[in-house]
Amino acid sequence: MDTFSHIVIGLGLGALAHMDTAVSSSESMAQAVLIGTVLGSNSPDLDIISRIKGKGCYYRNHRGASHCLPALPIWGLAISSALLPFFPGVNFFSLFFWIFLSVLLHVVFDLFNMHGTQVSLPFSIEWIAFDAIPLIDPFILLVHFIGFFLLIWFNPGPVFLLIYFFISFYLAIRALSSFLTSNRLGKHFNNAERIKLIPHARWFSWDVIIETDTDFIFGKHTLDSLIIDHTLSKKINFPELVLSSRSHQHVSDFLSSTHYAYPFVEKRNAGYFVFWKDLRFRSKKFFPNSAILFFTADQKQHGSYIGTMNSLKHYKNVITNLKKMTS
């Protein structure tokens, strides 16, 4: 989820914490918990500091070690310990519990979207994603804002206990719907190697990637209806360039962040472009999230790009700049 959503959830957990008498009976404790849950709800995303070393480093580390199970209590202890000097006398166990819960829910909500996390590190590098909710979920935000509004008249603990009951029910419905849809598509496309659902904000609506041994099929699925947009052949031109590109740091970083990257090679007058495109992020036939490696006419690595191209103009600028590197 995005930073704003995690802040809102942190505030909601700060309100829910009033179910704990140690929190509701102490204004100082309530303040410490509220600050702690907001910080805890965002702490795993502090992996953004890896961008200091470049976008490639961020791609490799985002939602990795900072989101894994062993890191969760460490975040909770670090934030609780940091707050303790500012709120002397508070109940450390309760403070830690609510902050730990906020960190845990950060990872849980991230698992429910299509990006997922490497939650099982260091035991496995696999990405786990439930493909149930969009990266920004309007329903979850709306329910929180309704809860904040109700605090004018009602106690925060019971209000947000009800709020999180509804959100849990909502997540269960969307996860079940995603599972059933994937299962249904798998039975229809019995030659599919993988099926990926990209959930929309609208319920029971997904972008779909169906991978077979020969191509990728892209479409939109709503309830029992599937509309195919287009297909991409898995035929790879210049396989030696694709193999060589894997050794480049930007490409290696990019591939570590997704299992849905696929290479495409274009021959130009100036040389060759190897595009590694993340197929999960799509705008019609344009894939903005890419790693691009430029080879000169004699097939030597020369320039590279990693990141998101926000428009066709941005894409053209990237290609132009890579070409200029040979001048």
Residue 318: pLDDT band by 50, 70, 90 thresholds?
confident
pLDDT tens column, 199-236? 999 999 999 999 999 999 999 999 878 999 888 888 88
**Mean pLDDT value across the chain:** 92
Please, which residues bridge with residue 306 across strands? 291
- Sheet of 215-222: strands edge to edge? 194-199, 205-211, 215-222, 225-233
Strands (E), the chain: 194-199, 205-211, 215-222, 225-233, 261-268, 271-278, 289-296, 301-308
- Whole-structure pTM over 0.85, yes or no? yes
Q: How far apart are CA 189 and CA 177, in angstroms?
A: 18
Token look-up 């930007």 returns 250
Q: How many CA atoms lie within 13 A of 187 on its CB side?
A: 5
pLDDT tens column, 276-286? 999 998 887 78
pLDDT tens column, 89-120? 899 999 999 999 999 999 999 999 999 999 99
pLDDT tens column, 11-42? 999 999 999 999 999 999 999 999 999 999 99
